[in-house]
Amino acid sequence: MSQELNKTPLHNLHLELGAKMVPFAGFDMPVQYSLGVRKEHLHTRENAGLFDVSHMGQLRLHGENAAKALEALVPVDIIDLPEGKQRYAFFTNEQGGIMDDLMVSNFGDHLFVVVNAACKEQDIAHLKNNLPDDVTLEVLEDRALLALQGPRAAEVMEAINPDVNKMVFMDVGTFDLDGATCFVSRSGYTGEDGFEISVPAEKAEALCRTLLEDERVEFIGLGARDSLRLECGLCLYGHDLDTTTTPVEGSLLWGISKPRRADGERAGGFPGADIILKQIETKEVSRKRVGLAGLGKAPVREGAKLFNAENDEIGIVTSGTFGPTAEKPVAMGYVKPEYSALDTEVYAEVRGKLLPMQVVRMPMVPQRYYRG
């Protein structure tokens, strides 16, 4: 018997607006609305797209030693994360593999953590098993999570609460939005300027309706969310990253904070540190995550095998679609290190044919975060 899907607090609104719903990470989620994926994608790049991401896990860590305790589980500087700031992090296992990627915010009296929907239960268990007794884990079950993304997102937010626009990329704060007390970060998963908004579940629909009244705002589904993040080189956990992939293999070296590296003041001390720090030092890995652009028009999907000119298998595509802004097939995947240099030509197997692709720099569409 199939398990009943969870519903976000905005489920009825999605149905009212004619969303096409699909199962995703145990939730019934909108994949697209009447505009369709391509137009939703382009609207987000040009105006402001509103996303329901309430399926993500929202957690709080309380206690004086919360930062120290969380830092013991990630290769990231949490202890010195300033109040009012957010940082990207990832849980690692003893083999150096990535268990999940997450966002960590310092709200002063607690840390606010957002984890991926598919990993939520295992992340909660991982934290419970590893946090000391003086750190309390609170799972927020009564909040929705929205993302307002795009070059006009700030104008839209200004009309609701002008103070939000004093934030720059990766700032966080608590704001009143339409009568709701919201935790807001200036960040997102599209490569555009924008905001992620944690709102009490019972006030989520009203806030959504207020945002949608603005002609610059359209609801955007999972389809366009995927093509937007892919063009901007952002990983999807469970596809581009997993428990067998180290941050070095995943080209996430930038995410490993200086103080946690071999020559840092708090070197190592996280699961798999020996393996990860050795890979940084020796640069020896069996594969590397790269960006790929199709040289033809046919999209190349996840799971397509990659070959060199001699027909030797050299890797696999982990995410792929046609990029509406890039105007070409865009993908990312893993190749043997000798094929990871920019402009290297590789071939993806699609329905028995080998389609040429080129290793390209990520992001393939420029990121436009607001840095002040």
**pLDDT tens digits, 226-263:** 999 999 999 999 999 999 999 999 999 999 999 999 99
Contact 293, 277 (CB under 8 A): no
Q: Is the pLDDT of residue 315 over 90?
A: yes
What's 294's domain CATH number? 2.40.30.110
Q: Distance (Å, rounded) from C-alpha 113 to C-alpha 246?
A: 21
Percent of the chain past pLDDT 70, that is, above it, reads 99
Q: Same domain for 307 and 173?
A: no
Amino acid 3: pLDDT: 75
Q: What is the pLDDT of residues 128-143, one digit of tens each?
A: 999 999 999 999 999 9
- Segments forming the whole domain that contains residue 359: 286-372
pTM listed for this prediction: 0.97
- Can you give the pLDDT at residue 336? 98
Encode burial over 248-270: b for 16+ CB neighbours within 10 A, e otherwise. bbbbbeebbbeebbeeeebeeeb
Indicate if the pLDDT at residue 172 is higher than 70: yes
pLDDT (mean) for 202-207: 98
CA quadruple 242, 248, 252, 253: dihedral positive or negative?
Answer: positive
Share of the chain above pLDDT 90, in %: 99
CB 44 within 8 A of CB 192: yes
226 and 292, same domain (yes or no): no
**Number of separate domains in the chain:** 2
51 and 146 both lie in a single domain: yes
Distances (CA, A) of 58 to 32, 111, 145, 199, 247: 24, 11, 8, 11, 23
Of 231, 262, 277, which one is at a domain's C-terminal end? 231
Structure tokens at 132: 């000391």
Tell me how far CA of residue 272 lies from CA of 78, 268, 277, in angstroms: 17, 9, 9
Whether residue 248 lies inside any domain: the answer is: no
Give the per-residue pLDDT at 258. 98
Instruction: Specify the residue for token string 């939520």.
Output: 120
Whether residues 195 and 337 share a domain: the answer is: no
CATH number at residue 42: 3.30.1360.120
Domain edge (last residue) among 231, 252, 275: 231
Task: Read off the pLDDT of residues 18-61 as tens digits, 9 standing for 90 and up.
Answer: 999 999 999 999 999 999 999 999 999 999 999 999 999 999 99
Mean pLDDT of the chain: 97
Give the pLDDT score at 1: 45
Q: Both 222 and 295 in a single domain?
A: no
Question: Residue 2: which pLDDT band, with cuts at 50, 70 and 90?
Answer: low
Q: Is the model's pLDDT at 320 over the cut of 60?
A: yes
